[in-house]
Amino acid sequence: MKILIADDSRVMRQIVTRTLRQAGFDGHDLVEAADGQEAHDKAQAEKPDLVISDWNMPEMTGIEVLRKLRAAGNDVKFGFVTSECTEEMKSAAESAGSAFFIVKPFTAEQFDEVFSPILG
Amino acid sequence: MSVETVVTQDDLAEMVEQVWASYLDPEGVSPLIPTGDDKQATEVHSTVSITGTWHGHLVYASSMLAARRAAAAFLAMDADEVGAEDISDVLGELANIVGGNVKAMLPAGCFLSLPTVVLAPETASYYPAAERISGLWGQWEGESISISMWQSVKHGEAA
């Protein structure tokens, strides 16, 4: 599968990548985006099977990216890995069509639980 | 409303424990040891601002060596391989993670800024009309680390 990892922190993109590996999800094609606009553009151009996105990013927030993709008819499986977790955010994410919501700091066990049904 | 009634020093300690368990000390062998020394010197810091139903700042500060070690732990590399960009990125992420968790404990309707990183002592930054209301000061492998919360006085009184 092709996975797009969107986070303005290069370190966090690396940690997401490493945690995916630690959770046993090796061998996937990984693409990165460093801000919301790039995430949107790559989600359209690269046609990933899964988008793992930060919430708070320059240019466009993660939720704006998701809404824009859905408005354009892009139905890619999309979810959030973010340090912020409020009920209003979770609710906004669900309404926009988010498939998961992982809060930083996260563990490989949490990744396993969330991504096993998606990545197999 | 004072944020102290919502986010206590114990809450900050719990968030820090989670960060250490996930990224900085997954083996559980070198925790952040609280000292309560709010005068300890720091060399670098990062800040996220929170606005909305509560106004203020969350500041993560440490010695340069602690920041370098944190970056090494985050990136799974040796401390002497870590560059300034790695240190800045990790400092920003640490403030972002703790700030995000703080935000989750505040009344609904808050917004978190992107982090600002300053490779200079904590005292180099000044937060106008804000006062420090709580914090956690400690040592990690003998190096200074602190997490402090600053509340905007004006908005705090109105909240």
Q: Which residues of B131-143 are buried (b: 16+ CB within 10 A; e: fewer)?
A: eebbbbbbbbeeb
Q: B109: which chain A residues are within 8 Å (Cβ-Cβ)?
A: 88
Residue A82: other Cβ atoms inside 10 A: 27
pLDDT tens per residue, range B103-153? 988 988 899 999 999 998 888 888 888 889 999 999 999 999 999 999 998
Which architecture does CATH list for A2-114? 3-Layer(aba) Sandwich (3.40)
CA pair distance B106, A48, nearest whole angstrom: 35
Domains of chain B with CATH codes = 3-158 (3.40.1550.10)
**Residue among A11, A105, A107 whose CB faces B86 most closely:** A11
Arithmetic mean of pLDDT, A42-49: 97
Specify which residues B58 forms β-bridges with. Answer: B48, B149
Q: Is the peptide bond before A105 cis (omega within 30 degrees of 0)?
A: yes
A10 pLDDT exceeds 70?
yes
Closest-approach residue (CA) in chain A for B106: A86
Confidence of residue B3 (pLDDT cuts 50, 70, 90): low
Nearest CA in chain A to B103: A84
What percentage of residues in chain A have a pLDDT greater than 70?
Answer: 100
The answer, yes or no, to whether residue A25 has pLDDT greater than 90, is: yes
Pick the more confident residue, A84 or B72. B72
Is the pLDDT assigned to residue B4 strictly greater than 60? no
- Residue ranges of domains in chain A: 2-114
User: Is the predicted pLDDT of residue B5 greater than 70, yes or no?
Assistant: no
For residue A60, what is the DSSP state? S
- Residues of A within 8 A of B98 (CB-CB) are 83
Whole-prediction pTM? 0.87
- For residue B97, what pLDDT is reported? 94
Query: What CA–CA distance (Å, rounded) separates B66 from A94?
Result: 38
What pLDDT is stored for residue B69 in this prediction?
A: 96
- At residue B68, the pLDDT reads 97
Q: What is the pLDDT of residues B39-87, one digit of tens each?
A: 999 999 999 999 999 999 999 999 999 999 999 999 889 999 999 999 9
Model confidence at B156: pLDDT above 50? no
